[in-house]
Amino acid sequence: MDAPILVAVISSAASIVVAAVAFFLTKRKEREAEWKKQKLEHYREFMDALSGTVGSDSTSEEERRWTRAANAIGLVASHRVLLALWQFQDAIARSNPNPSRKAHDEALNKLMFAIRFDLQISPADDPETFSYRLWCSGTNDPKG
């Protein structure tokens, strides 16, 4: 085979391989971005629904919305988030024989850090020194 023809064949083959690899990597990044977008939307709905249950002015409809959102994040959440969610649910359950604000706050904090970790958001603060709080209307206590 002639050298110029061999160079042309190798160049063509290399171009096709590079194009195929670039296409594959681009599609993979697009799928990852879409997956992250869906996760974020589920978590946003969950937090919005959770905010509706804070304080004494929550309704049974808001509690049902939160329950649906908590169940729905099971579709996208990591195992770490699910464990933190279950711990939070145990802490706030009406059937909890020893409800405590400290246990609630610790479980909420753990859940928030797990969600941020799942979304690959680097925490700016140490989980040991930072505490999340939910704000609610209808009360003078900003801690909810």
Residue 106 lies inside a defined structural domain of this protein: yes
Count up the domains in the chain and report the number.
1
Residue 21 lies inside a defined structural domain of this protein: no
Q: 85 with 73: CB under 8 angstroms?
A: yes
Q: 3-class secondary structure for 58-98?
A: CCHHHHHHHHHHHHHHHHCCCHHHHHHHHHHHHHHCCCCCC
Residue 92 lies inside a defined structural domain of this protein: yes
Residue 71 lies inside a defined structural domain of this protein: yes
The pair of three-digit structure tokens given for residue 68, joined into one six-digit string:
């649906």
- pTM across the whole model: 0.71
For the chain, give the mean pLDDT.
Answer: 85
E-assigned strand segments in the chain = none
- Give the single-character DSSP code of 135: -
Residue 95 lies inside a defined structural domain of this protein: yes
Residue 102 lies inside a defined structural domain of this protein: yes
- pLDDT(101) > 70: yes
Residue in the structure block whose two tokens are 């879409």: 34
Residue 48 lies inside a defined structural domain of this protein: yes
Contacts of 137 (CB under 8 A, 6+ apart): 55, 57
102: confidence class by pLDDT, cuts 50, 70, 90: confident
Q: 93 or 139: which carries more pLDDT confidence?
A: 93
d(CA 124, CA 118): 15
d(CA 52, CA 46): 10
Q: Domain range spanning residue 94? A: 37-118
What is the per-residue pLDDT across 15-67, written as a single tens digit (0 to 9) for each?
999 999 999 999 999 999 999 999 999 999 999 998 888 776 778 898 899 99
Residue 57 lies inside a defined structural domain of this protein: yes
